[in-house]
Amino acid sequence: MTALPRDEPVLRVLPLPKDLNAAGDVFGGWILSHIDLAGVVPAVRRARGRVVTLAVNGCTFRAPIFKSDLVSFYARLVREGTTSMTVEVEVYCERDPQSPFIVKVADASLTYVAIDDSGRKRPLPPQ
Ligand SMILES: CC(C)(COP(=O)(O)OP(=O)(O)OC[C@H]1O[C@@H](n2cnc3c(N)ncnc32)[C@H](O)[C@@H]1OP(=O)(O)O)[C@@H](O)C(=O)NCCC(=O)NCCS
């Protein structure tokens, strides 16, 4: 039986009908954009300011998200360089409110870069 991670999610959302694809599942682009929104949270906290998404290093959709699934995004910083940070994001669904169970639906790795007001990269501040 899959359980939710112990950490707090950085994002929790119920997809709308407009987020469904022709088959009635949640559109992959919606999932990916929310993964990016979730991943930016630990990056902005660490950078203490603006960041941009430099790369989606990888993303695996492990199971479909159905309408009525409550979707939770967990994000944590796993590497920091001079200006860049790697964040891992995991996505889980709470399915079937009558008899709830958890499904892990996706995981991803993204790289963010800290930028200044002019949009140029800047070193991460000391911890
Ligand atoms: C992000 C940006 C400011 C980087 O500027 P840059 O001068 O080209 O930066 P660099 O090539 O020197 O790389 C900066 C850091 O990213 C790392 N990096 C570069 N390419 C990478 C890649 N493909 N994957 C992972 N890390 C990468 C570098 O190693 C460096 O890390 P470090 O400083 O921690 O050692 C610039 O590329 C940019 O503005 N990109 C557009 C971002 C964007 O519009 N995103 C979408 C909307 S948020």
Half-sphere exposure of 38 (CA within 13 A, CB side): 29
Asked if residue 86 has its Cβ within 6 Å of ligand 1, the reply is: no
Tens-place pLDDT, residues 55-88: 999 999 999 999 999 999 999 999 999 999 999 9
The span from the CA of 96 to the CA of 66, in Å, is 10
Is residue 125 in a domain?
A: no
The rounded Å distance from CA 69 to ligand 1 centre is 34
| Atom 31 of ligand 1, nearest CA residue | 84
pLDDT digits (tens, 9 = 90+) for 44-55: 999 999 999 999
Which SS3 state, helix, strand or coil, does residue 60 take? strand
Ligand 1 binding pocket includes 81 (Cβ within 6 Å): yes
Residue 5 within any structural domain of the chain: no
Residue 99 lies in domain: 11-114
- pLDDT band per the 50, 70, 90 thresholds, residue 97: confident
Please report whether residue 58 resides in a domain. yes
The CATH number that applies at residue 88 is 3.10.129.10
Q: Is residue 2 part of a domain?
A: no
